[in-house]
Amino acid sequence: MTHNESLVLRFASGTDPGRRRQLNEDSAYASPRVLAVADGMGGHAHGEVASSIAVEVLSDLDRDLDPQRIDLLDALSDVVTEIGQRLANLGVRNPELKDMGTTLTTLVWDGTRFALAHVGDSRGYLLREGALHQLTRDHTLVQELVDAGRITEEQAAEHPRRSLLTQALRSGESPVPDLSYCEVRPFDRYLLCSDGVTAVLHAADIQEVLGTVPEPGDACRRLIELANAGGGPDNITCVVADVIDPAAFDEQDTVREPNWWQRLLGG
């Protein structure tokens, strides 16, 4: 948990290989300032290398970040460029790695708002006053078909090519990330997750977990359990973060008000 003058950020992360994959190619990052999920692709652990590189670059940003002196969206755009360059350099040195890649969905906290960067089909969600809002748009073929009115959301969920990405961080490619600011309110809850969650769970399932499980770590574990119960066809990764009024806690970070989380969850 981290404090500033007006808000408290509580967060947790969790990851699991799922039921059908031997390797976990996802990576997660969660700190008082940077939250991220990266879903690697490429097989034979190469995807794990790519997602780990994404997290490494974000760790460098986290270490050097001064949110009061730089534009966070510019910094995140630079992060995407840097990840792509490192992947390209590895591909040159080792041809086996040239086809690896990763998604990236990340939130950077400046104490009053989040900056969001997104490439691929991992997702960001906001639970506010009990209502779930999707913050990201999938960079996939089926999402483009939905946007064009050629198929419905229901058809997209069952489409045989629903995992085909139109943008990702890959060697030799220059994706254009979606960049935006998220204005926060006390008692907001944020979720970042890989498609190992959303390929199995509907929005209503996600909303129910986020809206009924008070602790971020428990919410991550519950989402992983449900995704595995639904077959666990892919790696499963979650980061959950709550924005809370610090008046709910005493100096030892003990909850003053036993039912504080009901406000967080829209109760």
CATH number reported for the structural domain that contains residue 243 in this entry:
3.60.40.10
pLDDT digits (tens, 9 = 90+) for 149-171: 888 777 777 776 777 899 999 98
DSSP 8-39: EEEEEEEEE--SS-SS--EEEEE-SSEEEEEE
Distance between CA atoms of residues 157 and 155, nearest Å? 5
User: Number of folded domains in the chain?
Assistant: 1
Whether 91 maps to a domain, the answer reads yes
Give the model confidence (pLDDT) of 72-124 as tens digits.
Answer: 999 999 999 999 999 999 988 988 888 899 999 999 998 889 999 999 999 99
pTM of the prediction?
0.91
Task: Give the pLDDT confidence score for residue 45 in this predicted structure.
Answer: 65
Percent of the chain whose pLDDT exceeds 70: 89
Inform me whether the pLDDT recorded for 44 exceeds 70. Answer: no
262: which 2 tokens?
């009901």
Q: Is residue 143 part of a domain?
A: no
Residue 154 lies in a domain: no
Is residue 140 one of the residues assigned to a domain? no
User: What mean pLDDT is predicted for residues 7-13?
Assistant: 90
Residue 14 counted as domain residue:
yes
Q: Per the domain annotation, does 46 fall within a domain?
A: yes
User: Which one, of 196, 188, 191, 187, lies nearest residue 240 by Cα?
Assistant: 191
In a domain, residue 80? The reply is yes
| Mean pLDDT of all residues in 224-249 | 91
Q: Is 201 exposed, middle or buried (0-12, 13-18, 19+ CB in 10 A)?
A: buried
Whether 103 is in a domain gets the answer: yes
| Domain extent at residue 239 | 8-130+167-265
